[in-house]
Amino acid sequence: EAGVTQSPTHLIKTRGQQVTLRCSPISGHTSVYWYQQALGLGLQFLLWYDEGEERNRGNFPPRFSGRQFPNYSSELNVNALELEDSALYLCASSSERVPGNTIYFGEGSWLTVV
């Protein structure tokens, strides 16, 4: 069974540009989460999508947005990139059928903003 897959794995963008990161959850998982792991700041919760709807949002500005598609895959969009957006962006998924709300992570997308 395939795990959570993310693309691209690495990318470099210029300040002010826009970026889209993509995530496919584990088959059968309906919830997708996005986390930002910036150097020195630890992991920060960004977004939670379930059944196509945004269910919860972390303390990030509106230029961070996303969506979930009918096949449960998801995109994270970041507009007007700033240098401090440089981070590893981790996508994760879960299923109501798995007890304890256990969340499984992908390998992440490294974003460097120059």
Partner 1 sequence: AQTVTQSQPEMSVQEAETVTLSCTYDTSENNYYLFWYKQPPSRQMILVIRQEAYKQQNATENRFSVNFQKAAKSFSLKISDSQLGDTAMYFCAFMNAGNNRKLIWGLGTSLAVNP
Where does this chain bind partner 1 (CB under 8 A)?
31, 33, 35, 42-43, 45, 48, 55-56, 58, 88, 90, 92, 94, 99-108, 110
Coil, strand or helix at 39: coil
* Cis ω for the linkage preceding 8 (within 30 of 0): yes
Phi and psi at 79, nearest 5°, equal -100, 160
Task: State which residue, 43 or 80, has the beta carbon closest to partner 1.
Answer: 43
Task: State which residue, 56 or 77, has the beta carbon closest to partner 1.
Answer: 56
Closest by CA position to 51, among listed 69, 25, 35: 69
Q: How far is the CB of 16 from partner 1 (least distance, A)?
A: 27
Task: State which residue, 103 or 113, has the beta carbon closest to partner 1.
Answer: 103
